[in-house]
Amino acid sequence: MSAGRKLVVEADGGSRGNPGPAGYGALVRDALTGEVLAEVAESIGHATNNVAEYRGLIAGLAAAAGIDPSARVEVRMDSKLVVEQMSGRWKIKHPDMVPLALEARELAAALGSVSYGWIPRNRNAHADRLANEAMDAAARGEHWTRKVEETPGEPEPPPRPASSTPTTTLLLRHGETPLSIEKRFAGIGDVPLTAHGLAQARAAALALKDRGIDAIVTSPLSRCRDTAAEVAAVTGLDVRVEDGFRETDFGDWEGLTFGEAGKGWPGELKAWLADPEAAPPGGESFAQVSRRVRTALDKLKVRYREQTVLVVSHVTPIKLLVKDALGAPMASLYRMHLDVAALTSIDWYADGPATLRVFNDTHHLPA
C-alpha cells in the first residue's frame, strides 16, 4: 500500500432496549473508488447504544490501521454524540465512555490523520445493517462476529501510461417491469421483470453475444441482475455486482406516477426538477447519484482498462454517464429518452475526452 492512502470508516452500534442486547458494525472503504475493503461486526452482550457506537468506532479504526497504518481516515457516523466527543467539541461525562474514547484516540493517533463527520442514518445503511445483525445475535444470546478483510488476490494495479485505446462501456437498461409499463418511479425497490421484459433481455443477450465483451457488471437490483444473467448465459462470463450503478432512491415517490407525486408533493417536485441537489422526500438527489456513479465508473476504468464492459443498469445512471461523456449540464437528463432494454455505448479515453458512439439503440428488441 502506498503511504497516506485515503480511507473512509463507516461505523454504527446500538442496543435493543438501551441498555439491552447490543452489537456494532463497521466497514472501511477506499475513499477514491468507494470499494469496501473490510467489514467487522460483533454482538457484545448487554450494553447501551453509546457503548456499542464507541465499540463500532474502535473496530473501524483498527480495521483501517490493518489496511494502511499511515492512512488518512475520514470517520462517518450517525451518532452525533460520538462525533462531537471525538472531535473535542463535547465533553465526555459518562464514566463508561471515557476508556472507550481513550482507546479510540490511541488508535487514531497511530494513523496518518483522522477526521470525524456526522451523516444521517440513511447514509450509514451498510454499517447499520451490520450492527443490526450483531444485535439480532445478541438478542438470541449468541456471541457473533463478522470479519471480512481486503481480498489479498486483488492488489492495486500498478500505474500505467496513458493510451489511445479506450475502455468501452456497453450500457444496457434492464428489461420491462410492471412499473415501467405504467411509467411509475422505480428506484431501489426490487421490481421483477415481466415475461416480455425477460424476452427483451434474451434478445439483447443475442445481440451482444459476438460484441467482444470482456466483463459484465450489473446493478444489484434483480431487474438488472436477471437481465445480466441472460447475457452471461450466452457469453459464459461471470457477473460482477456494483452498487454504484443502482437506480436513484426515489424515497416517498417510489411506485408513484409523475402526476401522483406532483399532487402529493407539488413544491418538492418543482424543486427536484429545478435543482440537482434537491431530493425526493426520503430519497436521493441526482447530484448524490452522480457522485456514486462516477465512483463506480472510476473503479470500472481501473479494473477493466482498455476492455469492453457491459454495464446493466437503470435510466438515471445511464443518462448520467451519457451526460458526463458529453460534458453536458445536469439539465440534459430531462432531454434524454431511454427505452427499456436499450443499448448505449461510450468509449472512455485515458488521454482524451469520452465519445458517445450509440444511444438508445433498440433494433434488437422484438416487436
Contact 51, 79 (CB under 8 A): no
Contact 309, 339 (CB under 8 A): no
How far apart, in Å, are the Cα atoms of 348 and each of 49, 182, 209?
A: 47, 34, 22
How far apart, in Å, are the Cα atoms of 139 and each of 126, 230, 238?
A: 20, 41, 38
Orientation of helix 49-67 relative to helix 97-110, angle to 10°? 20
Whole-number Å distance between alpha carbons of 205 and 227? 8
Residues 6 or more apart whose Cβ sits within 8 Å of residue 128: 12, 25, 78, 121
Whose cell is 434488437? That residue is 364
Whole-number Å distance between alpha carbons of 86 and 117? 10
Question: Which residues are the active-site residues?
Answer: 174, 247
